[in-house]
Chains A and B, each alone.
Chain A
Amino acid sequence: MEELDWRFKIAHREAWIGLGLALFNFLWWFGFAYGLGSRPVEEYRYVFGLPDWFFYSCVVGFLLISVLVVIVVKFFFVEVPFDEEEEE
């Protein structure tokens, strides 16, 4: 008899999470960069001296993603053994 390895279900879910996080990351990065960055330079505002589009897209985006990775890993990722189990 064959049965699906229980660990694969976990692995597949985590791969989907990775894909979702990458998509979110892209949208955040793209949205702020071109949403705010397309205005004429005279209309830029500055946060800590950096242009606002850059600050939100790259600085906040990076920190936000780092935090999200921590949250996702701590709460949604499950530890599984990698070696084949010998029992059964």
Chain B
Amino acid sequence: MNYAVLVPMLVFLLIIFFIGYWSSRKLASSSNFISDYFLGGRELGGFVLAMTMVATYGSASSFLGGPGTAYTLGFGWVLLAMAQVVTGYFVLMILGKKYAIMARRYKAITMIDFLKARYNSTFVVLLSAFSIIVFLFSAMAAQWIGGARLVESLTGLSYNSALFLFAVSVLVYVTIGGFRAVALTDAVQGAVMLIGTLVLLIAVIVAGGGIPNIVNDLIAENPNLVTPYGANGDLTAAYVSSFWILVGVGVVGLPQIAVRAMSYKNSRAMHRALIIGTFVTGFIMLNMHLIGVFARPVMPGIEIGDKVIPLIALETLPPWVAGIVLAAPMAAIMSTVDSLLLLVSSSIVKDVYLNYVKPDATLKTIKRISFGVTGVLGIIVFLLALNPPELLIFLNLFAFGGLEAAFIWPIVLGLYWKWGNKYGAIASMMTGISSYIALHFYNLANGNLFGVHTVTVPVLLSLAAFIAFSLLIDRKAYQYTIQTPK
């Protein structure tokens, strides 16, 4: 076991615990438990807001899978990853002020509250809650596996013990601290990611003898590595560009991101978050994926992509620095997991239980149920991650694309298009999810339709369905206006 690496990581975990504890004390004195637990009382400032979005979105794949793929495919994959710069500002500008205003008017705590108030339909609520619970649950389990693998490779613990350690850490602070704990720890984790990637990038460049040297080595090995087309020349412009939908603009439809656009304190916080978020997202994505490419000449022959970042950090940095830097992917995974955990439990407690099971529950009951559901969910995910079933891995493949196809139009057009109604929303969600799943199988068998990522076509189909059904059935203009007393 490598203590020099382990100690900085443990210190990092302790800081995270402390924040959870501190938030729980603030929560105890809260007068509005639901809003506080699930939304941090709508008082996030610019920096925390930006970081929580970046940290939630930047998951295991950005820190382990993404750089690993860049290692294999070269600069073309970095180009693809840079499509994510747009998420830094796009989500906040599109949802922006209108979503914040409407969410407050509707007194919405979750994305589903927003949809419920806008479309006034039980079916929309239940369909949304169902999608969120199924898809995000699977996404969460996959992240836990990633987290456990990282702990495993660093500590030499068995997979099961690593998973246990990871699960307990996440559960303790989410359960006690709620959204504020999550957002604040995200801010710390975001900062760690930012500095960690910079340090590691510099270390890799130094180890490789400078950028020109590294690039020459890459060309000597395979000139395709420095083109936009990938090592085998099979990254086409259409395919790479279609990632603008999956990891760029489509992110507007992800519930864990959309809920953050409800939580800002005021316009000033939103403006600051726009600027910080754009810079931080771009900076982390650029550095992280470049590290992946540059690592190739420095450490050739790494077979498992996920191990590129841990191995290169251990190779090029002094152990204690590696420990701090590797806290970055750890941070990314934890902060994604905790947000998902909270979102799934808010869907159960707030959207289903409080709406349909027991609307008049007392504060004490709500508290107990919120803690309970969050805890039980965590334990179920833990058990599933011990020995992941086929179905889970299968559903996880759909998680992000499926959610985007389902939610992007009901949210965006619900905000900006007065003719949008519940029939449009239902048709759009059903079309999005079913065409995404159908196309997934088609693409597996025949190669990508039109040469683009699976999410592209379902997003367009669900747009068509939204518009057609809204106009055809029960067409009525929605009033965004406020009643001003005479």
Contact = CB atoms under 8 A, between A and B. Distances in A.
Are these two chains actual partners, yes or no?
A: yes
Interface of A: 1-5, 7-8, 10-12, 14-15, 17-19, 21-22, 25-26, 29-30, 33-34, 37-38, 41, 44, 46, 48-51, 53-54, 57-59, 61-62, 65-66, 69-70, 73, 77-84, 88
A25 to B, nearest CB: 5
20 contacts: A2-B481, A2-B482, A3-B482, A15-B93, A15-B94, A18-B92, A18-B94, A21-B93, A37-B228, A49-B215, A51-B227, A53-B228, A61-B82, A65-B85, A65-B278, A66-B275, A77-B267, A77-B271, A78-B267, A82-B100
A88 B210 CA distance: 66
Contacts of B215: 46, 49-51
A22 B249 contact: yes
B250 to A, nearest CB: 11
Contacts of A88: 484-485
A69 B89 contact: yes
| A-B residue pairs, 5 tightest by C-beta | A18-B93, A49-B211, A49-B212, A11-B97, A11-B98
A81 B79 contact: no
Given A15-B93, A15-B416, 15 more contacts: A14-B97, A18-B96, A21-B89, A21-B90, A22-B90, A58-B78, A59-B286, A65-B278, A73-B274, A77-B267, A79-B271, A82-B100, A83-B104, A84-B104, A88-B485
Interface in B68-116: 75, 78-79, 82-83, 85-86, 88-90, 92-94, 96-98, 100-101, 104-105
B89 A18 contact: yes
B279 interface: yes
Chain B, interface SS category = helix
A41 B219 contact: yes
For chain B, the bracket of interface size reads 35 or more
Interface in B449-486: 479-486
Nearest to B78: A58
A8 B480 CA distance: 9
B94 A19 contact: yes
B85 A30 contact: no
A69 B82 contact: no
A4 B477 CA distance: 14
Nearest to A42: B223
A57 B98 contact: no
B286 A80 contact: no
Given A2-B481, A88-B484, A54 B78 contact: yes
A83 B78 CA distance: 41
Contacts of A10: 97
A18 B82 CA distance: 17
A57 to B, nearest CB: 7
Nearest to A83: B104
B30 interface: no
Given A5-B481, A82-B266, A62 B241 contact: no
Interface string B211-231: 111110001000110111100
B96 A11 contact: yes
Contacts of B485: 88
A2 B237 contact: no
A57 B90 contact: no
A17 B104 contact: no
A33 B244 CA distance: 14
Nearest to A21: B89
B268 interface: yes
Contacts of B286: 58-59, 62
Given A18-B89, A49-B211, A49-B215, A7 B97 contact: yes
Contact of B210 (A8, A11, A49): A49
A21 B248 CA distance: 13
A21 B86 CA distance: 9
B425 to A, nearest CB: 19
Contacts of A81: 266-267
Contacts of B480: 4-5, 8
B177 interface: no
Interface in B357-401: none
B282 interface: yes
Given A11-B101, A73-B274, A26 B481 contact: no
Contacts of A77: 267, 271, 274
A37 B79 CA distance: 11
A26 B86 contact: yes
A41 B101 CA distance: 51
B244 A66 contact: no
